Amino acid sequence: MEAHAHHKETFITKYVFSQDHKMIAKQFLITGMIMGIIGVGMSLLFRLQLAWPDKEWPILEALLGKWGTDGIMDPNIYLALVTIHGTIMVFFVLTAGLSGTFSNLLIPLQIGARDMASGFINMLSYWFFFASSVVMLISLFVENGPASAGWTVYPPLSALPQAVPGSGAGMTLWLVSMSLFIVSSLLGALNYIVTVLNLRTKGMSMTRLPLTIWAFFVTAILGVLSFPVLFSAALLLIFDRSFGTSFYLSDILVAGEQLTNQGGSPILYQHLFWFLGHPEVYIILLPALGISSEVISTNSRKPIFGYRAMVGSILAIAFLSFIVWGHHMFVTGMNPFLGSVFTFTTLLIAIPSAVKAFNYITTLWKGNLQFTPGMMFSIGLVSTFITGGLTGLILGDSALDINVHDTYFVVAHFHIVMGLSAIFGLFAGVYHWFPKMFGRRMNKNLGYVHFWITFISAYGVFFPMHFLGMAGLPRRYYTNTAFPMFDDLANINVLVSYFAIIGGIAQVIFIFNFFYSALRGKKAEQNPWRSNTLEWTTPVEHIHGNWPGEIPEVHRWPYDYSKPGMDEDFVPQTVPLGPNEEGGGH
């Protein structure tokens, strides 16, 4: 590693094919942001359609071309937009953008390592992600449009181009892109696991790890165990689509054509998909929870309340996430007994989740709260995590799920608990570790404006959707006008779209603040938040190998904030225990 620092760096090795985890983190973040702009932009387009289905929007014709003739959106492109919006947000923004950025940035820095276990594999992980993003974007431009069977791409719809035009070349590219994505994700996750297990500095026992690292570590394990199953699902789908096999297809007559496929089951795909799909929810959520644990503790100037319970609940959630996938399939005709089992395991997740929520709230109690923008977003995260998590008690209950399955109630639930919480975690992380990433500070006032507009409009978009769902409105409807019983939902849809547009446009503030601060922001000091963790002992200027001299030794856990008997309200992990000081079992 020492030799590494003396390597001559060219532009290519420093900024493009970099093997430095800090640069790779920035690459993930910026690619994720670009994908995020595209994903959110798509949602604004279909919000226009949902709120004002009869209105002509020149912008739709400009952006969608033949699918937006005269400013009216084509039903097929509507389905494509919701599909790609979901795919991009779930995988490219909230999996790669969030985990890729912060696992890469923080794992070596917070455990005291010079870099990831394998810098080369880490680089590959990014470039597979990049390739996957490019293929996904290319799929937007094929003749029959991108994949449009929903982000879960259930066959037979996704397998048959006759059933929906997007299931032609668009779907092929979707599968290629996702396969590349899975490779990226596995390479990254293996690296994270190996690094956390092997490269911790002296004194950094597992119980002294910051909760961020615990979250990234467990997330990586989830990814390694579940993404291969998605890959097998995708592989079988590729076979069905291209080589005439019948894994998922049987007895089908579509567009006047009898297919020869016999004996397959579309439900098999759903089992494989959701065996990844449900852990995926926690692959998205856990890093956000880890980030908020760190940000809330630092800015409350207090130890995170119940460190061991927090670690325990991360592990419990991770374990349970593997035995609940069936709750996405309550109405597929599965054996009712199986439904009971999945209801039971699903509702159990509420217990570790409640523990986490209460521990966050108690961390605030008697703190000395510093409302940095990162802290604001972390508090926002706890709020949405609770609000969205609670409706999980409805949807996880098979009997109740019957009538709201696939309605807007579900859309409201998962956007709040997973979408908003994770995106708030992402924002919190960016605001908090921006000084570490770029050596400069972000403007806090723009941060506040960004937070409040985003927070209020986010609830404004998704809270009313509960009522749409309780009115029986199915999701993925191009328009609600085909059913008079939904006519009186029109004004709710308009309100939702207004909030979506406001919230979407407000992100310009963030993007501006991000790039302006990265280039011209005020220079950061070494430890701007007066934080305990190791990353703040590295110099502001990035160097290969992170620490100029020896890697520091760790003597305590990361949460000694406002410890009685200390001069300062923080005690970095590198400070040895005093003669009469208690280690607190860490």
Which residues in 142-181 contact other proteins (CB under 8 A)?
149-150, 154, 156-157, 160, 163-164
Closest to other proteins by CB, 119 or 352: 352
User: Do 285 and 170 meet the contact criterion of CB atoms below 8 Å apart?
Assistant: no
Considering only residues 277-296, where is the footprint of other proteins by CB under 8 A? none
| Radius of gyration from C-alpha coordinates of the chain | 24
Considering only residues 69-88, where is the footprint of other proteins by CB under 8 A? 75-76, 79
In which residue are the tokens 């048959």 written?
160
Token pair recorded at residue 113: 């390592």
In which residue are the tokens 């008690």 written?
393
Secondary structure of residue 104 in the 3-state scheme: helix
Token pair recorded at residue 407: 């309605």
**Is position 579 an interface residue for other proteins (rule: CB under 8 A)?**
no
**Is position 580 an interface residue for other proteins (rule: CB under 8 A)?**
no
User: Do 195 and 114 meet the contact criterion of CB atoms below 8 Å apart?
Assistant: no
Task: State in angstroms the smallest separation of the CB of 371 from other proteins.
Answer: 4
Considering only residues 41-70, where is the footprint of other proteins by CB under 8 A? 58-59, 62
Task: State in angstroms the smallest separation of the CB of 120 from other proteins.
Answer: 37
Q: Judged by CB under 8 A, which of 30, 140, 394, 518 binds other proteins?
A: 394
The whole-angstrom separation of Cα 459 and Cα 448 is 17
**Is position 519 an interface residue for other proteins (rule: CB under 8 A)?**
no
For residues 459 to 488, the per-residue mask of contacts with other proteins, x marking binding by CB under 8 A and - elsewhere, is x---xx--xx-xxx-x-xxxxx-xxxx-xx
The whole-angstrom separation of Cα 381 and Cα 357 is 10
**Is position 333 an interface residue for other proteins (rule: CB under 8 A)?**
yes
Closest to other proteins by CB, 14 or 476: 476
Q: Judged by CB under 8 A, which of 142, 225, 492, 540 binds other proteins?
A: 492
Task: State in angstroms the smallest separation of the CB of 381 from other proteins.
Answer: 10
Task: State in angstroms the smallest separation of the CB of 479 from other proteins.
Answer: 6
**Is position 347 an interface residue for other proteins (rule: CB under 8 A)?**
yes
Report CA dihedral (199, 205, 207, 211) to the nearest 10 degrees.
-30
Q: Judged by CB under 8 A, which of 8, 143, 258, 519 binds other proteins?
A: 258
Report CA dihedral (471, 475, 479, 485) to the nearest 10 degrees.
-20
**Is position 361 an interface residue for other proteins (rule: CB under 8 A)?**
yes
Q: Judged by CB under 8 A, which of 41, 228, 306, 439 binds other proteins?
A: 306
Considering only residues 181-240, where is the footprint of other proteins by CB under 8 A? none
DSSP single-letter state for residue 17: S
The whole-angstrom separation of Cα 94 and Cα 422 is 7
Q: Positive or negative, the Cα torsion across 35, 130, 157, 255? A: positive
User: Do 207 and 200 meet the contact criterion of CB atoms below 8 Å apart?
Assistant: no
Closest to other proteins by CB, 351 or 543: 351
**Is position 393 an interface residue for other proteins (rule: CB under 8 A)?**
yes
Q: Positive or negative, the Cα torsion across 65, 67, 69, 72? A: negative
